[in-house]
């Protein structure tokens, strides 16, 4: 009797493997670009958050609070469905990179800020007393130390980011989840489709998670 995992459904999936491969590639490309954007945004806004100038810190708070306290799905819907009414028609891939990258940028900003703030004030003051400028002190004294603390949570953000690219399925984004939805709902062979899709996401995220754990252990040893 054909259950949800009947053999012929697996065979159908194997013969349509190129659909899943296409989605997988799209998800990887999307993740890489979104991660790059989120790192740039995160480092920029994170450093704003540690600034001595109040207005810069306010900028950091507005960005972080606004992004962290609204659902990613709404942000994506806004970029995809609302902006066209204002005459801005971003391609869906750009919506994905901006949406997911911007979303995780806010989390990374908090990680960067926490990393910098965890370095004792004395370090910076000592650097100043040796004649370092603000940027000199940051670049040579504070950031190298903060980096070690910020690395493990950053890797976890990368894992979350990869998984969150799947929201693009809701706006026909052409990513892995979209193709899994599309294929499984056309054929109704949802059993194999979602298992394979899950394993593909696992194959991306699991190595990263392991790497994060290794980094965490490294921090333990040195501290």
Binding region for another protein (CB under 8 A) out of 5-13, 33-41, 64-72, 121-129:
5-13
Give dist(CA 125, CA 110) in Å, integer.
23
- The tokens of 147 are what? 């980096």
Residues with Cβ < 8 Å from 10, sequence gap 6 or more? Answer: 192
Q: Does 172 bind another protein (CB under 8 A)?
A: yes
Min dist CB 203 to another protein, Å, is 11
Binding region for another protein (CB under 8 A) out of 56-64, 101-109, 111-119, 166-174:
166-174
Min dist CB 27 to another protein, Å, is 16
DSSP state of 26: H
Q: Does 3 bind another protein (CB under 8 A)?
A: yes
Identified binder of another protein from the candidate list 84, 120, 136, 144, rule CB under 8 A? 84
Identified binder of another protein from the candidate list 123, 145, 160, 182, rule CB under 8 A? 182
Residues with Cβ < 8 Å from 103, sequence gap 6 or more? Answer: 38, 67, 72, 75, 164
Q: Does 185 bind another protein (CB under 8 A)?
A: yes
Identified binder of another protein from the candidate list 188, 214, 218, 219, rule CB under 8 A? 188
Min dist CB 196 to another protein, Å, is 10
Question: Are 60 and 45 in contact, with CB atoms under 8 Å apart?
Answer: yes
Q: Does 81 bind another protein (CB under 8 A)?
A: yes
Question: Are 207 and 143 in contact, with CB atoms under 8 Å apart?
Answer: no
Burial label for 197, CB within 10 Å (0-12, 13-18, 19+), is buried
Q: Does 221 bind another protein (CB under 8 A)?
A: no
Q: Does 1 bind another protein (CB under 8 A)?
A: yes
Residues with Cβ < 8 Å from 203, sequence gap 6 or more? Answer: none
Q: Does 89 bind another protein (CB under 8 A)?
A: yes
Closest CA to 59 of 76, 74, 44, 38: 44
Residue numbers at the binding site for another protein (CB under 8 A): 1-6, 8-9, 80-82, 84-85, 89, 169-172, 178, 181-182, 185-191, 195, 199, 202, 210
């Amino acid at each position: 009797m054909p259950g949800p995992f009947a053999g012929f459904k697996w065979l159908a999936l194997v013969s349509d493997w190129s659909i899943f491969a296409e989605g997988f590639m799209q998800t990887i490309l999307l993740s890489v670009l979104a991660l790059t954007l989120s790192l740039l945004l995160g480092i920029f806004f994170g450093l704003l958050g540690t600034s001595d100038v109040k207005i810069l810190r306010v900028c950091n708070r507005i960005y972080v609070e606004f992004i962290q306290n609204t659902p990613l799905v709404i942000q994506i819907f806004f970029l995809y469905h609302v902006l066209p009414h204002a005459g801005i028609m971003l391609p869906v891939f750009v919506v994905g990179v901006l949406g997911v990258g911007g979303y995780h940028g806010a989390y990374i900003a908090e990680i960067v800020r926490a990393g910098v703030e965890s370095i004792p004030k004395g370090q910076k003051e000592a650097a100043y007393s040796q004649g370092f400028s603000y940027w000199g002190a940051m670049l040579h004294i504070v950031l190298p130390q903060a980096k070690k603390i910020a690395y493990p949570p950053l890797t976890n953000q990368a894992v979350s980011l990869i998984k969150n690219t799947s929201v693009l399925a809701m706006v026909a984004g052409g990513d892995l989840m979209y193709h899994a939805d599309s294929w499984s709902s056309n054929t109704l062979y949802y059993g194999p489709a979602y298992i394979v899709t899950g394993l593909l996401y696992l194959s991306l995220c699991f190595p990263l998670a392991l790497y994060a754990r290794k980094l965490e252990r490294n921090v333990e040893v040195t501290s």
